[in-house]
């Protein structure tokens, strides 16, 4: 493997894609992102860009297949992969929240004791419940979480919220925020000296871009 370049993994298609590409371009890194490409070389910086599903990025970075990645903190923290979070990027802000049916009586987290909660974030939810001495039945599902209470699959949900309109339109109310997230840059713990130097250059550029915007 070439230790003299940085391989940067970003989301191929989704909520993080556009801002991730924009950030890399604003750092002055040029590349051809022709449609459908899964990998492309930067033309003026020793870097390659990999286009992946966001859930796969922490694992690739842990394994050193990618040296850097841009993902939501929610995905990185849930994955429990052994990577360094090197910088917060300020976009794709959202929160991981618990919602219950609008008509349900809810006076606090203790009311979740013994209840069933549907989520795609079982680890973050479990940590939260544990820290509040609550035991609940966690149902891991991979999508359409918000529908679970209205079809009787669970008493509550734990999912990503941004405007809150998805919860609302599924007859739910947000009762606890368990994690606040934004896009972050994660890095492998096994960078060569040259890669660490390239990362430092990149972080300097990212910080300059962020300062210029504020």
Rounded-to-integer distance, Cα 80 and Cα 175, Å: 26
**Total residue count of the chain as it appears in this document:** 214
What residues make contact with Zn ion under the rule CB under 5 A?
54-55
Angle formed by the axes of helices 193-213 and 17-26, to 10°?
100
- The entry of Zn ion, ligand PRT, none that residue 49 binds, CB within 5 to 8 Å by partner kind: none
Q: In 56-87, which positions are buried (b, 16+ CB within 10 angstroms) versus exposed (e)?
A: bbbbbbbeeebbbbbbbbbbbbbbebebeeeb
- The entry of Zn ion, ligand PRT, none that residue 22 binds, CB within 5 to 8 Å by partner kind: none
Nearer to ligand PRT, 14 or 108 (CB): 14
What residues make contact with ligand PRT under the rule CB under 6 A?
11, 14-16, 53-55, 72, 74-75, 92, 94, 159-166, 181
* Helical residues (DSSP H) of the chain, grouped into ranges: 17-26, 57-63, 73-79, 122-131, 165-169, 193-213
- Considering the complex, what minimum distance in angstroms separates the CB of residue 120 from Zn ion? 9
Please give the residue whose beta carbon sits closest to ligand PRT in the complex: 72
- The entry of ligand PRT, Zn ion, none that residue 163 binds, CB within 5 to 8 Å by partner kind: ligand PRT
Nearer to ligand PRT, 55 or 126 (CB): 55
- Considering the complex, what minimum distance in angstroms separates the CB of residue 119 from ligand PRT? 11
- The entry of ligand PRT, Zn ion, none that residue 20 binds, CB within 5 to 8 Å by partner kind: none
Residues 49 and 40: beta-carbon distance below 8 Å: yes
């Amino acid at each position: 493997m070439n230790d003299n370049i940085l391989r940067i993994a970003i989301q191929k298609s989704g909520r993080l894609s556009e801002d991730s590409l924009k950030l890399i371009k604003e750092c002055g890194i040029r590349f051809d992102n022709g449609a459908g490409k899964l990998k492309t070389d930067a033309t003026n910086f020793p870097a390659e860009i990999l286009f992946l599903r966001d859930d796969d990025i922490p694992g690739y970075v842990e394994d050193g297949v990618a040296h850097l990645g841009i993902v939501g903190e929610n995905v990185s923290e849930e994955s429990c992969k052994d990577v360094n979070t090197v910088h917060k990027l300020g976009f794709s802000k959202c929160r991981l929240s618990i919602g219950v049916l609008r008509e349900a009586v809810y006076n606090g987290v203790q009311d979740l004791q013994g209840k069933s909660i549907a989520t795609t974030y079982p680890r973050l939810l479990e940590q939260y419940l544990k820290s509040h001495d609550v035991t609940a039945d966690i149902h891991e599902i991979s999508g359409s979480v918000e529908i679970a209470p209205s079809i009787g699959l669970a008493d509550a949900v734990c999912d990503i919220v941004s405007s809150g309109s998805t919860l609302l339109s599924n007859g739910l109310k947000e009762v606890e925020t368990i994690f606040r997230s934004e896009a972050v840059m994660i890095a492998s713990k096994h960078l060569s000296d040259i890669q660490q130097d390239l990362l430092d250059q990149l972080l300097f550029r990212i910080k300059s871009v962020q300062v210029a915007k504020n």
